Structure formats: structure tokens, C-alpha cells
Amino acid sequence: MWKSNRSVIEPDSFQPLVVVDLKTYPMRPVPLVQDRWEAFIPVPSDQNIVDYHYKFDFKDYAFGKPKADSLMSASYKLKVK
């Protein structure tokens, strides 16, 4: 879940990503469900746990022009059975 008190985020600049082993995978909006995003990440067949976190890239309105910024989530574990 994305929560921010920032009122200066340029709405069209928001890009959520999933980060696995320093590689990023873009998230895409889910059809028919507003404000829900998904991503597909590769999981090697010999691996049953994947560590990942979310990264949110966006632009803040700043004096003069928008400025690039980002936030990261805590780390999570995906367990595959």
C-alpha cells in the first residue's frame, strides 16, 4: 500500500517498481480496479524464497520545476511452494 502526506507529487509521474537483486521490474495498473498495480518477477526454479521491496519514483513540484524523487518500502519475502 502506498501512503504519502506529500501534496506536491505530480500525479502523472508516479511509477511503482519491484526491486529484486538490484533489478527493477515495472508495475502496471490492474484493469478494472482503480489504484491497484501488479508486477511479474522471475523466480528461478531452484529458488523458493525471493527477497524484494517496492520503489516508488515520482516528481515533486519544486520551486521553478518538478524534481525527481523516490521512496522505498521495507523488505519482504516471497515464499514459493
pLDDT (tens digit per residue) in 36-66: 899 999 998 899 999 999 999 999 887 778 8
Q: What span, in angstroms and rounded, lies between the C-alpha atoms of 60 and 51?
A: 29
Q: What is the pTM of this model?
A: 0.82
The answer as to whether 33 is a domain residue is yes
Q: What span, in angstroms and rounded, lies between the C-alpha atoms of 60 and 58?
A: 7
DSSP bridge pairs for 21: none
The answer as to whether 59 is a domain residue is yes
Domain that holds residue 60: 11-76
The answer as to whether 2 is a domain residue is no
How many folded domains does the chain comprise? 1
Q: pLDDT at position 66, please?
A: 83
The answer as to whether 4 is a domain residue is no
Q: Which residue type, as a one-letter code, is found at position 46?
A: D
- CA angle 29/49/26 to nearest 5° reads 20
The answer as to whether 5 is a domain residue is no
The answer as to whether 50 is a domain residue is yes
The answer as to whether 81 is a domain residue is no
Contacts of 10 (CB under 8 A, 6+ apart): 58, 59, 60, 61, 66
Q: Tell me the pLDDT band of 9, cut-offs 50, 70 and 90.
A: confident
**Could you read off the pLDDT of 13-40 as tens digits, one per residue?**
889 999 999 999 999 999 998 888 999 9
The answer as to whether 3 is a domain residue is no
